[in-house]
Amino acid sequence: MIEKKQTSGDMATSKAEIPAVAGDKADSVPRNIRALIDALRQYPPFNQMDDRELITLLEKSTVEYFPANTIILSPEDGVPSRFYIVKKGHIAGERLMSRNGDVHPTFDIGPGACFPIAALLGERPTRTVHKALEDTFCISCDKEHFTHIVSTSRVFRDFCLRGISGLLEQVNRHVQAQAQFNLGDEYSLETPLQDYLHREVISCSPDTSVRQAVKIMDDRGIGSMVITDPMMTPLGIFTLRDLRHLVANPDARLDAPISEVMNRDPISLPSSATAFDAALVMAKHHFAHVLIADDARLKGVVSERDLFSLQRVNLVHVARTLANAPSVESLAEMQSDVALLIQTMIAHGASAEQINRIVSLLNDYTTRQVIRLAVKKIKHPDVEFAWLTFGSAGRREQTLLTDQDNGIIFKAADPEEAEQIRAGLLPLAQQINQDLDRCGFTLCQGNIMASNPKLCLSMDEWNLWFNQFIDAATPQNVLNSCIFFDLRTQWGPEHLAEDMFTNVRQRIKQNSIFQKMLAGAALESRPPLGLFKGFVTRKENGQEGVDLKTQGLTPFVDAARVLCLAHGLKPTNTLHRLRQLVRANVVEEKDADAWEEAYSFIQLLRLRHHLAQKSHGKALSNLVDPDDLNQLDERILKEAFRQAQRLQRKLAWNFQL
């Protein structure tokens, strides 16, 4: 042994020398620490951490004892200052429900379990009271040391960020903690519908009379009645709204069987679906009630009020109001509700992807209603046409900062007819562009708008446009035109664009030169990482920072687009594209997961950034100063950029660039 010849004086050397004796290190660890390491090794993530990492963890740790019933952590303590690993004993999590003051047990953890990871990472108080169920020993360290381990041990970091509940959710909680200030409602959008099944299931048979059914509803104080067969398979639903219509009808017979007036084939979700799923269904179909059924057996009903009991504005309500708005003015006024809603959604645990979907959904409602109103008001040729949207709207990746990228596609028999129809549609397009601008979708500076005659085209003209572009592309115009390949029909018949673009997709799939050019363009926006450790910042409008959109998101968006187009794959949403690429065996699942995570993180950071800017009354921008980020966000952002670099390397390799 090397150590033997050393004197104790020599032992007081700096840690820097330790790697030199790494081989002997395991032996030179005191036996009690060795024993703790062995004990920890029985549990993830410690079973994947090497000796050095575990020694580092334990080196600045302590062992603490908590007699049964000691409260170890509680929300009132503020941001927790220590990290704990259960060594022996059990710890229960208890959450006080604000609605009725009940204490809900949330978890029961034993040896090997770690807490409170989310609160430490989110730098917010824990939501749960952590109480020793029995006499318990914990290994603990302070927050700084925990952060140090998170940053130095990849395994531990992955465990903390992903292993438990996903990186996004962790960071999300941070966002929520900021947004949840006044909300106090314990339910989040991730709450499974299961949790809403606290009432007795009330249903009736199809031959029950309307009067009887309404009497039951009245007696039980419920707003809806589900009609089922004897096997409890839902056949229909009857709500108070239906009753209103019924009573307004002078011919209505209250003694008729309810099956005559019920809504048939009601939409149902499994009890494992989330509150978010239910809200989306309600928003999409303008229902106030969604059935919960497992294996076609009715389990209960969840209502809009159940989901949003405490909120002034909610998704279903906003979606309905947008879809029925009587004027552009009222649509414009509604947009502040949309912003408030997004904030609320974040507070209730929505992820970046969910927010993207909600914003896209609501923007679609606004756009469609704008178009519907304009179509009524403005004279236009009676032809089949559809409203297209490009770029982030086309990918359903919108956030609060949105400008217009749109076009029109219509059917025409020949070029002359196309010219005529165009002339007739352009005033309408002009009006729609203006109205959208009034609703907060700013006019596109590059004039990528339907009112631009070059973007109001017949199917043939679009086809020709794309084909010429593909054949005669230069690196520069490819760079500027990528967003056209992310197109989606926002209003009108979808088959027009679908038929047209199928040809285009086929053509790109066969044109390797164009693919190579697209790939080259995708490599233009480089993630802002320096050769060494730091970020490479840029200056925009006198501010310095990294651009989360062009430097962070664009590399992922562009790469996913090229890879999908090259393989003839249809999706336009970046996350859908990545998933589709896995299915098509173009990328490996674990790579796709990492990219998805990195992309989602940047998107969420951007969203958070926008919300903060909005609440300070600042103009929205994508520029973030890394110095303003907390340590953890900064590190994850670096890692996310590194993933972008990896994706770009793959792209370069695939297309031999």
Partner 1 sequence: MISYFQPLAFQFNTDRQSGNRMQNITSKWPPPEASTILNQIRWVVVDVETTGLNIRKDRVIAIGAVEIDQMKINLKQSFERVFDPGVDLEHENVLIHGLSPQELQQGTTPEQGLKDFLDFAAGSPLLAFHAPFDKHMLEKESKQWLGVSARLPCYDVADFCLALFPDLSKQLRGLDAWLEHFGLEASERHHATCDAMATAELALICLQKAYSEGIDTWGQLIDRISTATKLHRSRHTF
Q: Does 6 bind partner 1 (CB under 8 A)?
A: yes
CA dist 550 and 612 (Å) reads 20
Cα dihedral 133/139/142/143 (nearest 10):
-70
Give the residue, chosen from 3, 471, 494, 544, that forms a contact with partner 1 under the rule CB under 8 A. 3
The answer to whether 250 contacts partner 1 (rule: CB under 8 A) is no
Amino acid at 326: P
- Residues touching partner 1: how many (CB under 8 A)? 39
Interface region with partner 1, contact rule CB under 8 A, candidates 133-141, 150-158, 355-363, 377-385: 133-141
Beta strands in 295-333 (DSSP E): 297-303
For residues 64 and 185, which CB has a smaller minimum distance to partner 1 in the complex?
A: 64
Q: Which residue from 280, 274, 615, 553 is spatially nearest to 397, judged by alpha carbons?
A: 553
Instruction: With CA atoms as reference, report the closest residue to 466 among 453, 484, 454.
Output: 484
As a whole number of angstroms, the distance between CA 540 and CA 343 comes to: 27
Does position 113 bind partner 1 by CB under 8 A?
no
Query: How are strands ordered across the β-sheet holding 234-239?
Result: 203-204, 224-228, 234-239, 263-264
Nearer to partner 1, 34 or 505 (CB): 34
> CB of residue 139 vs partner 1: minimum separation in angstroms?
8
Please, are residues 552 and 644 in contact by the beta-carbon 8 Å criterion? yes
Largest CA distance in the chain: 105
Q: CB nearer to partner 1: give 140 or 354.
A: 140
Please say which residue, 59 or 108, places its beta carbon nearer to partner 1.
Answer: 59
Binding mask 22-61 for partner 1 (x = CB under 8 A): ---x-xxxxxxxxxx-xx---------------x--xxxx
| Cα distance from N-terminal residue to C-terminal residue, the chain | 53
Q: What is the closest distance, in whole angstroms, from the C-beta atom of residue 65 to partner 1 in the complex?
A: 4
Q: Using the rule CB under 8 A, which residue among 79, 92, 137, 434 binds partner 1? A: 137
Closer to partner 1 by CB, 19 or 534: give it.
Answer: 19
List, in order, residues 6 or more apart from 235 with CB less than 8 Å away: 206, 227, 228, 229, 259, 262, 264
12 near partner 1 (CB under 8 A) = yes
Subset of 389-448 contacting partner 1 (CB under 8 A): none
Which residue from 88, 99, 73, 89 is spatially nearest to 36, judged by alpha carbons?
88
Rounded CA-CA distance 540/547 in Å is: 9
4 part of the interface to partner 1, by CB under 8 A: yes
Q: Which stretch binds partner 1 (CB under 8 A): 135-143, 170-178, 369-377, 443-451?
A: 135-143
Please, are residues 214 and 242 in contact by the beta-carbon 8 Å criterion? no
| 13/480 with CB nearer partner 1 | 13
Concatenating the DSSP letter of every residue in 408-463 gives EEE--SSHHHHHHHHHHHHHHHHHHHHHHHHTT-BPPTT--STTSGGGEEEHHHHH
- Residue numbers 77-96 binding partner 1 by CB under 8 A: 88
For partner 1, the closer CB: 34 or 538: 34
Residues 346-365 interacting with partner 1 (rule: CB under 8 A): none
For tokens 């236009």, what's the residue? 380
Identity of the residue, 60 or 495, whose beta carbon is nearer to partner 1 in the bound complex? 60
- Piece of the chain touching partner 1 by CB under 8 A; list 9-17, 426-434, 535-543, 638-646: 9-17
Q: What residues form DSSP beta bridges with 107?
A: 93
Pick 66 or 514: Cβ nearer partner 1: 66
Phi, psi of 289 (to 5 degrees): -135, 140
Please state the closest distance from residue 79 (CB atom) to partner 1, in A.
20
Under DSSP, the state recorded for 249 is S
Footprint of partner 1 (CB under 8 A): 1, 3-4, 6-9, 11-12, 18, 25, 27-36, 38-39, 55, 58-67, 88, 135, 137, 139-140
